[in-house]
Structure 1
Amino acid sequence: MNVLLVTVDSLRADRVNPEVMPATRAFADDALEFTECVANGPSTPASFPAIHASRYFASIEGLGLPEPGRDDAIRTLAETLREEGYATAGYTDNHFASGSYRYDRGFGEMYDASGAAEAGRLKQFVQSNLDKDGPLFKTIEAVYNRADAVFASATGNDSEYERAESLNDRALGWVDDRENEWFAWLHYMDAHHPYEAPDEYQREFLDEPLPLARCRGLSRKGTHHPEEVTDREWELIRGLYDAECAYVDDQFAALLDALDDRGELDDTLVVFTADHGELVGEHGHAGHPPEFWEGVLRVPFVVAHPDRGAATVDGQVRLIDAAPTITDALGLDAFDGWEGASALDLADGEVEGREYAFADVGRQIEYARCCARRADGWKLLRHADDGEFCFDVRETPDERPEDDRTGESPPEYAELSRALDDHRERMRRMREGGSRGIDEDDEMVEDHLKDLGYME
């Protein structure tokens, strides 16, 4: 059986609905849909160790994965499937999910568009070769949005990232050349800010399409200066985000249709998920800040197995369960060092849900930003200097300040605190055990953060 893993950057679970993503909604209705999947971090660097290696971000010193052969406690899904004879290929346009951070481990072919796109190379040249204190760099920075639009026009790219349609074409070309079982991973970047969907998708959610520079300007304002965003601008940001989600919907459907036309789909396990969600005005933010609100942590998780019927599974699962779920679906043993467990246990009624889901971010602040979410919906958020928050998100899903229960000191708060303290201590021991990725102080990391819009 083949394996197709599609991850969508920044896709909230609630956007998989008939109005925004009807094709994906129909796909989920015909598959195993896990309605309470929790991302193990609010960003790509925090989530992809969970997806590819079933490891918490906080268990590895630095970003990404260790070098192959340097840490026997870490093995990726791709390495596991390649050992079983699968041809393996990955397609991504996110630096933090690329070979730069060793996510090419186990992939016979890795297409990392972020290192190949002309626009990416041009921006990288500016970042690397101009004096950041000099007048030319400061001028470019001051007109960043307009310069981006000029770069896009000059290089023929109408998007900050390579479009899902292009990644589909590359992956399908690779599939056409396969004679044995294959594992393909595609990571769509379209729903990641800046939201700049093609005009026909913008027309579905806005009165009229916005120019590229306006799209990017709104994104930067919402991400870096949300206190300045007007109500009308929040409406535009939400419409642009939904337009990108609608574009992703069409491209995911096109990929499945193309595999069906090739006679591949009936023998392919398809897993659809996201690395994290997105805020579009909630809590005064856009994008995915290092915080743990439901809009950031709740992601879709859908498994379509050729030999399994459709079902909706409400128990809590986590992204660290992705790799064990895939190997279980294939009848393979999970790697002993994986932190997660197969979500198929929930679908089969063997367990009711994972008792705790943990999320972490940030070595440089000693993981003081972290979260524990219990299967019954109780949740503790630690936002470092911003304080702690405790919610029953099933009762108060909006997580408003008045819903915070920390002042009441309910027993659930004490239980979540103990669980989160234990998790942080275990992560510390694992880091000290020698699992090392890319140092967060590496200059490359800062460049990639700027490329992806996390830093101005």
Structure 2
Amino acid sequence: MARPPNVFLLSADALRADHATELVEAVAERTGGTRFSNAVAPASHTASSIPALATGRFIDEAGAVEESLRPSSLSADGYRTQLLTDNPIAADALTERSAGEAGGLSNLLDDLLPRGVTRPVERAYFRRLWPAMRRLGLADPYYRPAARLHERALEGLSGETDPIFCWLHYMDTHSPYYVPNDGEATEGFDPDRTAAMSRSLTLGDAADVDRTEAETVARLYRRACDHLGGSVVEFVDELRERGLYRADRDVLAVTADHGECLDPERGVFGHLPPASWESLVHVPLVVARPDWPASTVDEQVSLVALPDMLRPDPGTAAPPTDFGREYVETVAGTLTAAGVVRGVRRADGEKLFGRRTADGTDVVHTRYEVGDPAAETVVEEPYGEGEAATGVPEGLLERAADAGGLVGDEQYLSGVDESHLRALGYVE
């Protein structure tokens, strides 16, 4: 009986599609993978996106889960599983505690103090103390960089004879954004000081973000995306050289759980409050399977299809073109009734999403250019509980209704609670 294939899932936190084109091309070239140029995340933040893409179901969708990317599921099939991340939400939602390791978070304020106290304390910490400590060599990067995760992964996989399931979830592109600091200012800014600024700004109100500071942070974010992309490509090369990944046998995917919005005018700096802007939900995706040809799929797909794309048995996954669909849904939320988002979009560039706030429901109808988040424009933004945008393309409202409405009731998988959401600032 043939040995089951190894499965590698390399996902980045807060990596938007338009900042990962070179990464996708490089991985596809090395693996013969399929590029999905219009992939959409289940949600705009980790607490809703990771559980959805791991199980193939939105977090507010009832029903049994038949396929799963959780390490425990693959362990039962004889796989040696490894999950490495410093994102506590992803770690607990994916039962990492029993399958791998977490660590690297240098700041424990969220676990020690109420959120109302930690926000100003944490902002002060990042504005003043943390960059100084970094310059003096007294503080490590806030999260373990990709290179460290790769070293740990290769150590754990060395000499392994059982089939491997390895999921690395990188935090380099989550604030505070990481690039190596050689001690000199680069492109007119200090990486550590700007990284600290990125974290302090995402903890505040988007309306208060200074435009000049936003542009500086955006430059660092772009560099972090490029650096992470280079690290991931080097890791794929190392897997090939060590024989851990073979294109004629194994499965490998590169993606992100959501994107990042650094445009304060959209009401978001980072990825909260939840919304469905293109910069938040359009993500990179390349999947390499020995039973798929090297190709590009331009139709939109949803990451909720990822478990089906990564089925380890050869021939069990549908052809890549079968995952295309006219509508793609997103769902996001916090632990409160305020801030819940459900969005539906069509392949022709029309999108409708609703944001539940403390004052009611804000329905937003937008038009976007695929691959260009900056070109997304608001068509209608009427306000009022239960109201809907006028002139919405035929079928879009109906599809939203079929999905449970523009804004649905939030439900959460076990293991994702308030303390986990606070750890990355996902709860106000």
TM range (shorter): 0.7 to 0.9
Q: TM-score, normalised on structure 1? A: 0.77
Structure 1 residues 294 and 351 mapped into 2: Cα distance closer, same or farther (>3 Å)? closer
Question: Does the CA contact (< 8 Å) of 1:10 and 1:274 recur in 2?
Answer: yes
1:13 aligns with 2:17: yes
Unaligned 5+ segments in structure 1 are 61-70, 333-341
User: How far off is 1:144 after superposition?
Assistant: 1.7
CA drift of 1:400 comes to 2.6
Measure how far apart 1:76 and its partner are. Answer: 2.6
Structure 1 residues 35-46: aligned runs within 5 Å: 35-46=37-48
Pick from 322, 327, 334: which aligns with 1:355?
327
Q: CA RMSD in A?
A: 3.5
In the alignment, the residues of structure 2 paired with residue 249 and residue 256 of structure 1 have an alpha-carbon distance, to the nearest angstrom, of 11
Aligned match of 1:57: 59
Equivalent positions of 1:68-87 (< 5 A) are 73=65, 76-77=68-69, 78-87=71-80
**Partner of residue 298, structure 1:** 282
Aligned residue among 395, 410, 413 for 1:415: 395
- Asked if 1:345 corresponds to 2:319, the answer is yes
1:126-177, Cα deviation, whole Å (9 max, x unpaired): 455568899xx89955622123346657885442111111111111111113
Equivalent of 1:97, from 82, 85, 90?
90
Asked if 2 retains the 8 angstrom alpha-carbon contact of 1:2 and 1:181, the reply is yes
Give secondary structure in 1 for the equivalent of 2:403: helix
Instruction: Check if 1:242 corresponds to 2:222.
Output: yes
Separation in structure 2 between the aligned mates of residue 261 and residue 439 of structure 1, nearest angstrom: 38
Kept in 2: contact 1:59–1:430 (CA 8 A):
no
Cα drift, residue 250 of structure 1 = 1.8
Q: Residues 24 and 253 of structure 1 are in contact (CA less than 8 Å); yes or no, is this contact kept in structure 2?
A: no
* Offset of residue 319 of structure 1: 1.1
3-state SS of the aligned residue for 2:60? Answer: helix
After superposition, the Cα gap between the structure-2 partners of 1:244 and 1:110, relative to the gap in structure 1 and judged at 3 Å, is same
CA distance in 2, matches of 1:429, 1:218: 32
Pair 138,108 (structure 1): closer, same or farther in 2 beyond 3 Å: closer
Report SS of the residue matched to 2:57: coil
Partner residue in 1 for 2:380 = 404
TM-score by length of 2: 0.82
Residue by residue over 1:325-363, the C-alpha shift from the partner in whole angstroms, topping out at 9 and shown as x without a partner, is: 11176444xxxxxxxxx6x4343xx57525332323235
Gaps of 5+ in 2: 383-387
Tell me how many residue pairs correspond in the alignment. 406
Offset, 1:247:
1.6
1:32-431 to structure 2, matched below 5 A, reads 32-59=34-61, 73=65, 76-77=68-69, 78-99=71-92, 101=93, 103-104=94-95, 109-113=99-103, 117=104, 120=106, 123-124=107-108, 126-129=109-112, 140-141=121-122, 143-145=124-126, 146-149=128-131, 156-199=138-181, 206-210=186-190, 212-222=192-202, 224-266=204-246, 267-281=249-263, 283=266, 285-289=268-272, 290-327=274-311, 330-332=314-316, 344-347=318-321, 350=322, 352-353=324-325, 355-365=327-337, 368-385=340-357, 387-394=362-369, 398-401=375-378, 403-404=379-380, 409-410=390-391, 412=393, 415-424=395-404
1:380 is paired with a residue of what secondary structure? strand
* Secondary structure of the corresponding residue to residue 279 of structure 1: coil
Aligned equivalents of 2:320, 2:312: Cα separation in 1: 12
In the alignment, the residues of structure 1 paired with residue 115 and residue 391 of structure 2 have an alpha-carbon distance, to the nearest angstrom, of 50
Secondary structure of 1:98's partner? helix
For 1:188 and 1:244, locate their aligned partners in 2 and report how far apart those are by CA, in whole Å: 11
1:390 maps to amino acid? H
Q: Which amino acid aligns with 2:90?
A: A
CA contact (8 A) 2:253 2:288 kept: yes
* Structure 1 residue 394, shift from structure 2 partner: 3.8
1:280 aligns to what SS in structure 2? coil
